[in-house]
A and B are shown apart, each in its own frame.
Chain A
Amino acid sequence: MAIKVHSPGLSTTVQDLGRPGYYHIGIPLSGAMDREALRSANLLVGNDENAAGLEVVFMGPELEFTAPATVAVTGGEIPPKLNGEPRDTWTSFVVKAGDVLSFDFLKAGARAYIAVSGGIDVPVVLGSRSTYTLGALGGHQGRKLAAGDELPVGSASKSGAAGRKLPVLLRRMPGSPATLRMLPGLYWHRITEEAGKHFLADTWKVAPEADRIGYRFRGGQKLAFVDRKPPFGAGSDPSNIVDACYPYGSIQVPGGTEPIVLHRDAVSGGGYFMVGTVISADMDLIGQLQPHMPAKFVAVDMTAALKARKDQDALAASVRAALA
């Protein structure tokens, strides 16, 4: 069984839940930006949650199946069509050999996830099938899909039935403006109290430079820095630090102008100060933001961050129960 890529879409990559364990040498987690959406897609077609699927950004691909399978599309609303006929998102459907899956224009969100029963069976590299394009690692030949590619599909252990649907209440998408909860810290002390207030009060907009490495935001006021003598090795700009590790979700603000939230393909370190870190429970939401969408950063403490994490786990458990 294989999938033939007729057209690749804008930037379609093979992703599972990622490749932990190599961040210390600069190889990031990778994996689905909206992890819960990929999990749901996999469960809908009877796969393990961690099976590899396709992450589609803004514009869908056109794919032909060489054998029967069960398919589901979740995440951002990029409506699927089978041989030109509309199919529901968040709902499993059956495909036959020769069927062609294509997509309508993006209606909401930013990234859709395609799961196929059996999972995309590209080689496992360092424990994962996820694509890390910057390092040309994993996925299909370490890159986004191109026309003419053929993707191997694994054999399904149990076949998911068609017509299974995830209830609307169990689908999490960002609001408008998107609320991104963050724990202030790291180098928060580098900006003035006034700048900290602006950072949290301003409404930011997603900039066009938003990808798997990081999401850039603009439109807020420039942050003012506390005066200092540059520490040796940091560089002269007030936003420079001695190159350090970057947490996933950390918010760096080069030059104090445009915050960048690092995501699944994060650069693992560098020389820009960070004001804090988006909490783990809100990372999925960032993957569903389109350029120009408004967003606000909301400061929370560790207790609230852990509570949000529990809520996110409870959502995942409800999805499992609904699709068991």
Chain B
Amino acid sequence: MKTRYSFGGDEHIFVECDEEMSLQAFFKGLSITNGVRDSRIKGVTEICPANASFQIKFNPDEIAPDDLLAELKRIEETASKSVASLKTRIIEIPVLYNDPWTHETLMRFRERHQDPSSTDIEYAARINDLGTVDNFIKAHSGAPWFVSMVGFVAGLPFLYQMAERAKQIEVPKYLRPRTDTPKLTVGHGGCFGCIYSVRGAGGYQMFGVTPMPIYDPTQTISYLKDFMVLFRPGDIVKWKPIDREEYDQTVAAVEAGKFQPRIRDVSFALDEFEKDIDGYNRKLQEALYGH
């Protein structure tokens, strides 16, 4: 894993922790960005962690680009010794798989897809050797997912499946991006899952939709009153497959201000997770559903 630094114009430093995705690369980025935050470097205006990389926005009138670069390399050295763990949350997200809205949308954009004769979820089930859509849903909703980046559009989480690499779902993006994606679509591209926080363009395969808003610029939804964006990097997500009846009930409960998402505080340690992935995931689930 070799860190690569590059300037993004005169206002950004782009830092790639690794070319390929892994939780090690994510944690390397997290520990460096935490170090940058703690160092309170003059001229640093924004710190944006991503999956296996991060970006620092700075004001070159306040710090010379090369001075900031040297400072980051110094922080990288210290940060590489830190333990990959964090105190975080596990959040249950209900999903109606194979819903009518993403189905209508994927049919409209069929000519932009690798396999126009099947749906996105059928295609993903087949190329991941899962056989049936039911098996695919079981695989997708079985292990929890790690929020390794928030962005693209407001509050959209990128989700990394907490499973050994051979079991991780991988799908290509659409051949050409769609101009439309329903709000709250559960999508997937490369090895990453996501939830589209708003309606708009998108290139990820579409598997379902959640009734639970994750972004509310009006800040009227009960659990988004304090801040309009639900997710932060490091959060853990557990999908819960639901049927249409529960979907409709949840939508109504959100509108009535009565819906409270299931969220529990947990801690996550990368080395323990990697020692026994299934066992660790079971413990996370107990934390979510236990008392």
A250 proximal to B (CB < 8 A):
yes
Tier of interface size on chain B: 35 or more
Query: Looking at B7, B156, B189, which has the most chain A CB atoms within 10 Å of its CB?
Result: B7
Contacts of A309 in B (CB 8 A): 10, 60-61
A270-B152 contact given A21-B46, A135-B217, CB 8 Å threshold = yes
Given A235-B190, A267-B152, A271-B189, is A24 in contact with B49 using a C-beta cutoff of 8 Å? yes
Interface size class of A (residues with CB under 8 A): 35 or more
> Chain A nearest CB: distance from B159 CB in Å?
11
Contact A234 B20 (CB under 8 A): yes
Residues in chain B near residue A305, CB distance under 8 A: 9-10
Contact present for B217 and A235 (CB under 8 Å) = no
Point out the residue from B16, B57, B189, B197 that lies within 8 Å of A244, measured CB to CB.
Answer: B16
B20 contacts A232, C-beta separation under 8 Å = yes
With A233-B190, A234-B20, A234-B190: A25-B52 Cβ-Cβ less than 8 Å: no
10 additional A-B pairs beyond A27-B154, A234-B190, beta carbons within 8 Å, are A24-B49, A134-B198, A233-B51, A234-B21, A243-B51, A243-B192, A247-B8, A250-B8, A268-B151, A302-B7
Question: Which B1-53 residues have C-beta < 8 A from chain A?
Answer: 6-12, 14, 16, 18-22, 45-53
B206 interface residue, CB < 8 Å from A? Answer: no
Q: Which residues of B approach A to under 8 Å, CB–CB?
A: 6-12, 14, 16, 18-22, 45-55, 57, 60-61, 65-66, 149-156, 158, 165, 170, 172-173, 177, 189-192, 197-198, 200, 215, 217, 228-229, 231-232
Asked if A306 contacts B156 (CB within 8 A), the reply is no
Other-chain residue from A21, A142, A233, A313 in contact with B52 (beta carbon distance below 8 A): A233
Report whether A271 and B9 are in contact in the complex, using a CB–CB cutoff of 8 Å. no
Q: In the complex, A23 Cα to B151 Cα: how many Å?
A: 8
Contact for B10 among A21, A27, A302, CB less than 8 A: A302
- The docked-state distance in angstroms from the alpha carbon of A125 to that of B228 is 11
Residues of A with C-beta under 8 A to B154: 25-27, 132, 134-135, 137
Selected A-B contacts with CB under 8 Å, 24 pairs: A20-B46, A21-B46, A24-B48, A24-B150, A25-B155, A26-B197, A135-B197, A183-B10, A185-B6, A185-B7, A186-B14, A232-B20, A232-B22, A233-B21, A240-B173, A243-B190, A245-B50, A245-B55, A247-B8, A248-B9, A269-B48, A276-B9, A279-B10, A306-B60
B173 touches A271 (CB 8 A): yes
Complex interface: chain A residues within 8 A of B229 (CB): 25-27
The verdict on A89 contacting chain B, using a C-beta distance below 8 Å, is no
A242 is contacted by which of B21, B55, B61, B228 (Cβ under 8 Å)? B21
A298 interfacial by beta-carbon distance below 8 Å: no
A122 at the B interface (CB under 8 A)? no
Expressed in whole angstroms, the minimum distance between the Cβ of A260 and any Cβ of chain B is: 11
Find out whether the CB atom of B217 lies under 8 angstroms from the CB atom of A233.
no
* Docked-complex contact A135 and B153, CB < 8 angstroms: yes
Contact between A245 and B9, CB atoms less than 8 A apart: no
Chain A 263-303 near chain B by CB (<8 Å), digits 1 or 0: 00001111100101111110000000000000000000010
A136 touches B50 (CB 8 A): no
Q: Are B14 and A249 interface neighbours, CB within 8 A? A: no
Q: Chain A 85-101, CB within 8 Å of chain B: the 1/0 string?
A: 00000000000000000
Q: In whole angstroms, how far apart are the Cα atoms of A236 and B55 in the complex?
A: 24
C-alpha spacing A182/B189, complex, angstroms = 30
User: What are the residues of chain B within 8 A of A281 when measuring CB–CB?
Assistant: 10
Least distance between A188 CB and chain B CB atoms (Å): 8
What residues on B are CB-neighbors of A148 within 8 Å? none
Instruction: Kindly list chain B residues whose C-beta atoms are within 8 Å of the C-beta of A25.
Output: 150-151, 154-155, 229, 231-232
Residue of A nearest to B25 (CB): A242
Inter-chain contact B45/A20, CB cutoff 8 Å: yes
Can you name the residue of chain B whose Cβ is closest to the Cβ of A274? B8
Cβ-defined contact, B57 with A23, below 8 A: yes
Known: A270-B152, A306-B60. A244 touches B51 (CB 8 A): yes
Which of A23, A142, A270, A279 is B217 in contact with, Cβ under 8 Å?
A: A142
**A247 close to B14 (CB less than 8 A):** yes
Minimum Cβ distance to chain A for residue B186 (Å): 16
Instruction: Name the one of B20, B152, B170, B177 contacting A26, with C-beta atoms under 8 angstroms.
Output: B152
